[in-house]
Structure 1
Amino acid sequence: MLLLLLISSACVLPWAGAGRIIGGKEVKSHSRPYMAFLKIQTSDQSGLQTSCCGGFLIRPDAVLSAAHCVPRKGRVTITVILGAHNIRVREWSQQTIHVKHWVIHPNYSPDGFKNDIMLLKLKPRARINRNVQFISLPRSNERLIEGTKCAVAGWGWRSMPGHCSNVMMEVEQEVQNEEPCQYLFRNYQRQSMICVGDEYSRKAPYHGDSGGPLVCNHKAHGIVSHGLERRLFPKVFTRISYFEPWIYQQLKRFALQELPGSPSSD
């Protein structure tokens, strides 16, 4: 099993590389204004490493992403870029925010990627405009039915092996029944995960797409979490509706400037 997050020199800078979502297509510029690009730098005894992840704006002061995007060791610095299409150039629409506080779910476990969810607090807040907007989340009682058509956007690899994409790509994906994921992933949890994929074509999110949203019916229902290294189908997404109470609890604390023991770049 392999993290979809890429930690290597392939993403030395957020505008380096040429890979994309596997089997996807380039989206119309700025047509996904909720998308966030995360540049994650980790400094430890081995030196400085840079990785890339996706995320999405759910409020002017909050971005949702995957917990596994943040390395567990070393000094971590996260930069969020909003309003981007081509991350290799400094577009006039881009807003760059250096994130100092983030909250990883207290029960997150890299063993099976349980509770793979993270909230980043933006300060200053994002400036909401035509190119930067937030996306709605499902309520705790909303469930996706098998066969629901969804989309996943990001700047991840286009091929295996590859590099982070210059431009935002998107791939269509379909919600599956639970059986393929229960068979392939011993730690698959139906209540907190979604089984997604396209069984008959080579289309999937991959390295660098972690943390991006699974958008179904104009809502972010899932977060790109994990899959198998040499198998594009299926992929496992964090089920956002299951975490609705935790998300809104953290958002209230954000509003009150209460940061419950979150990691910090300070």
Structure 2
Amino acid sequence: MLLLLLISSAFLLPWAGAGRIIGGKEVVPHSRPHMAFLKIKFVNQSGIHTSRCGGFLIRPDTMLSAAHCVAKRRIVNITVTLGAHNISVREQSQQRIPAARWVIHPKYSPVGYINDIVLLNLKTKAKINKNVKQIAFSGSNEGVTVGTKCRVAGWGRTAVEGRGSDVLMEVELKVQNDEPCKQLFHNYLRHSMMCVGDKNGKKTTYEGDSGGPFVCNQKAYGIVSRGVGTKPFPKVFTRISYFEPWIREQLRKFALQELPGSPSSD
């Protein structure tokens, strides 16, 4: 794998966040059954375009991702692919389901990627099996200690000048204290963000991985959000525990059952 050479952007475009897996490795096929691949079709002045992000299933018909993947765009449609390893082929394990609606956090701001979280409600429920499963997420009182090694998977780019990966890749990154992110990111908010990365600069995420889960001990604690300039370290992930009450409020509105493996909403 190449070392990270992030694409600079004075305006921090959505993909200037945390997109591709650099310095990681291909996962055992279908060993991350909670992972979702988002194909987002949108319109701008030059026509119809597509972009890609990651996400993860938390209910049979609901998933989480990053708000910047869908915000400030005229969306034509979003297709969610579950049960995938190689997204370039139509594997028998895959389930492709349109998103019926999505709810961006009401206080999301593209300036600093504040409250960078979105819930997507699928048009039909996914069929839960060995290749497609839900993942629990951290409750409002749950945290993960500095130094903990966790994993991030995605289909983002594996080279600076190139396309996204066809197969699911994964990298191991450490939870950092807040100081590196406070120094680099003017809008860093420790209560709603996590500082993550590899201090050696050899492993990171980049274009195409945004929205994927930061998984520690089989539970999602963060969402891939952003980075800056040419720096591979550190990265900012959305801290899920801070948003747990909002997530549950939206789930109630979706009229869904309670999440298995997560704290009660009662």
Cα distance, 1:71 vs. partner? 4.1
Q: Distance in 1 between matches of 2:164 and 2:49?
A: 14
TM-score (normalizing by structure 1): 0.89
AA aligned opposite 1:164: G
Q: What residue is the counterpart of 2:43 in the other structure?
A: 43
Q: What residue is the counterpart of 1:9 in the other structure?
A: none
Q: What residue is the counterpart of 2:66 in the other structure?
A: 66
Q: Distance in 1 between matches of 2:30 and 2:213?
A: 16
Cα distance, 1:243 vs. partner? 0.2
Q: What residue is the counterpart of 2:239 in the other structure?
A: 239
Q: What residue is the counterpart of 2:4 in the other structure?
A: none
Q: How does 1:95-110 map to 2 (within 5 A)?
A: 95-110=95-110
Which segment drifts farther, 189-198 or 68-77? 68-77
CA-atom RMSD in angstroms: 1.5
Contact 1:3 1:225 (8 Å CA) reproduced: no
Cα distance, 1:229 vs. partner? 3.0
Cα distance, 1:4 vs. partner? 5.3
Q: What residue is the counterpart of 1:264 in the other structure?
A: none
Instruction: State whether structure 2 residue 193 is matched by structure 1 residue 193.
Output: yes
Helix, strand or coil at the partner of 1:110: coil
Structure 2: runs of 5 or more not aligned: 1-8, 257-266
Q: What residue is the counterpart of 2:120 in the other structure?
A: 120
Q: What residue is the counterpart of 1:224 in the other structure?
A: 224
Q: What residue is the counterpart of 1:5 in the other structure?
A: 15
Instruction: State whether structure 2 residue 42 is matched by structure 1 residue 32.
Output: no
Q: What residue is the counterpart of 1:138 in the other structure?
A: 138
Q: What residue is the counterpart of 1:209 in the other structure?
A: 209
Q: Distance in 2 between matches of 1:189 and 1:76?
A: 32
Cα distance, 1:74 vs. partner? 2.2
Structure 1: runs of 5 or more not aligned: 7-18, 257-266
Which segment drifts farther, 37-46 or 146-155? 37-46
Contact 1:3 1:207 (8 Å CA) reproduced: no
Instruction: State whether structure 2 residue 153 is matched by structure 1 residue 153.
Output: yes
Q: Distance in 1 between matches of 2:42 and 2:99?
A: 14
Contact 1:4 1:206 (8 Å CA) reproduced: no
1:42-96 Cα distance to aligned partner (Å, 9 max, x none): 1233101110000000010101000000141324310000000000000000000
Contact 2:71 2:104 (8 Å CA) reproduced: no
Q: Distance in 1 between matches of 2:137 and 2:71?
A: 26
AA aligned opposite 2:132: V
Q: Distance in 2 between matches of 1:20 and 1:118?
A: 20
AA aligned opposite 1:143: G
Contact 1:21 1:156 (8 Å CA) reproduced: yes
Instruction: State whether structure 2 residue 89 is matched by structure 1 residue 89.
Output: yes
Contact 1:3 1:227 (8 Å CA) reproduced: no
Cα distance, 1:239 vs. partner? 0.1
How many residue pairs get aligned? The number is: 244
Q: What residue is the counterpart of 2:252 in the other structure?
A: 252
